[in-house]
Structure 1
Amino acid sequence: MGRTELHRGRQGGISLVGLIVVLAIVGFVGVLGLKIVPTYVEYRAISNGIKLAKAGGNTVREIQAAFDKNASATYIETITGKDLVIGAENGEIQVSFAYEKKIPLVGPASLLIDYSGSTAQPGSAGPKPRE
């Protein structure tokens, strides 16, 4: 067997169709990421905003006003101070929120993400709304 006969076996690699499929999947994941990341960034801004609002007020109205002031500075458009659930838990004021974000994908298909957060410690039941 000569040297040239050893290299005549089938060469491995990706076919054109395989490359197109891989690029389509990478493109879809990339577009999906570009649509999801801004909603997650806003969610993080809201989570930080409720912590600042809790520190900035002692009444429901003060907390709502503090959140709205922070929201306008950080470009939060999904919720306002009136959408917050403000209540007491173990004698301490807690602030929480919950909302859905619908992201259109293709045609009638869309992605629905539920966001929620609270200033309460993890594992607690959450605040009981003040009357």
Structure 2
Amino acid sequence: MINKQRGMGLFGIFFVAMGLVFSSIVVMKVVPAYLEYGAIKKVFKVIANDPAMKDAKAGAIRESYTRRSSIDNITSVTADDLDISHDDNGKLLISASYHVEKPLFSNVGIYIDFKPTSAEAP
């Protein structure tokens, strides 16, 4: 009796390995951008919930953001990028809009848009 071979061939192993390498590269490029986005949202919420900032002027809010962002090593959003407003209840709202470009190889890259805000998600 002839037994059929089972398993993956050399080309199969090669394609699986290439897929894993590509996925790993994408994850290593994207994760830091999302970690910084989380840090920005956290800073926005801390400032918005600070009682001292409730009636503060925009300059004081921007200064507070600058101090807090330097602690968390936030470089994508500066104090000048902040949109500062108040909702109908008088609660401070801080938001921004920015994008991150991460090159993968040659002329191919990843482009991610972020819009962090201090508003609570519905």
Normalising by structure 1, what TM-score? 0.83
Q: 1-side partners of 2:26 and 2:82: how far apart?
A: 28
Q: 2-side partners of 1:99 and 1:48: how far apart?
A: 16
Q: Residue 32 of structure 2 aligns to which amino acid in structure 1?
A: P
Q: Provide the secondary structure at the position in 1 that maps to 2:120.
A: coil
Higher relative contact order (Cα pairs below 8 Å, separated by 6+ residues): 2
Q: Provide the secondary structure at the position in 2 that maps to 1:118.
A: coil
Write out the 4+ residue segments of structure 1 that deviate beyond 6 Å after TM superposition: none
- Cα deviation for residue 11 of structure 1 reads 2.0
Q: Provide the secondary structure at the position in 2 that maps to 1:105.
A: strand
Of 69, 72, 78, which residue of structure 1 is paired with 2:70? Answer: 72
CA RMSD of aligned residues (A): 1.3
Normalising by structure 2, what TM-score? 0.89
Q: Which residue of 2 aligns with 1:21?
A: 15
Q: 2-side partners of 1:38 and 1:97: how far apart?
A: 18
Q: 2-side partners of 1:60 and 1:82: how far apart?
A: 10
Q: Residue 53 of structure 1 aligns to which amino acid in structure 2?
A: I
Higher Rg: 1
Identity, % of aligned positions:
26
Matched residues, number: 117
- Cα deviation for residue 59 of structure 1 reads 2.0
